[in-house]
Amino acid sequence: MNFKPDPKLDLVLERVIDVPRELVWAAWTKPEHIKKWFTPAPWTVADCEIDLRPGGMFRTTMRSPEGKEFPNVGCYLEVVPNERLVWTDALLPGYRPAPEPFMSAVLLLKPEGKGTRYTAIAIHRDEAGRKQHEEMGFQEGWGKALDQLVALTRTM
């Protein structure tokens, strides 16, 4: 995949982390790990289901500190172990159109020294969607979740 982010439509979080990409991959692809890091605390993941294949389901239920739950269902588009995950909420499992798409995402993992160059890209259909996601705290939220992923890998 040779995807070039469009700053008008996409948000990017890129960081070199001192974690081997195999552990990052495991943290992203196993529900028991996703539940421990995927949402920035004090939010939590109440439930997660993964069918790790193109057309398969990526489902999470995020829970706010007040206990309100927010289900998210998406479809994997591309799965390249230890290198790339691409998914979208524009499609439901089996490539069925979703009623209210918000974004697609690309996760790129490249070895860098003993660590990993971690690049997460949130792709939006229009500038309003990108702006909404940015105002929701994309950089802070996804950055904090990445910090939690790094901390989790210390225990794996």
Looking at residue 1, its pLDDT comes to: 62
> Angle 53-44-101 (CA atoms, 0-180°, nearest 5)?
50
What residues make up the domain containing 26?
Answer: 10-153
Domain count, the chain: 1
In a domain, residue 77? The reply is yes
Looking at residue 97, its pLDDT comes to: 95
CATH number of domain containing 137: 3.30.530.20
Q: Is residue 107 classed as helix, strand or coil in its secondary structure?
A: strand
In a domain, residue 44? The reply is yes
Two tokens at 33?
């790990």
Strand partners of residue 80: 84
In a domain, residue 1? The reply is no
Model confidence band, residue 4 (pLDDT cutoffs 50, 70, 90): confident
- pLDDT tens digits, 50-98: 999 999 999 999 999 999 999 999 999 999 999 999 999 999 999 999 9
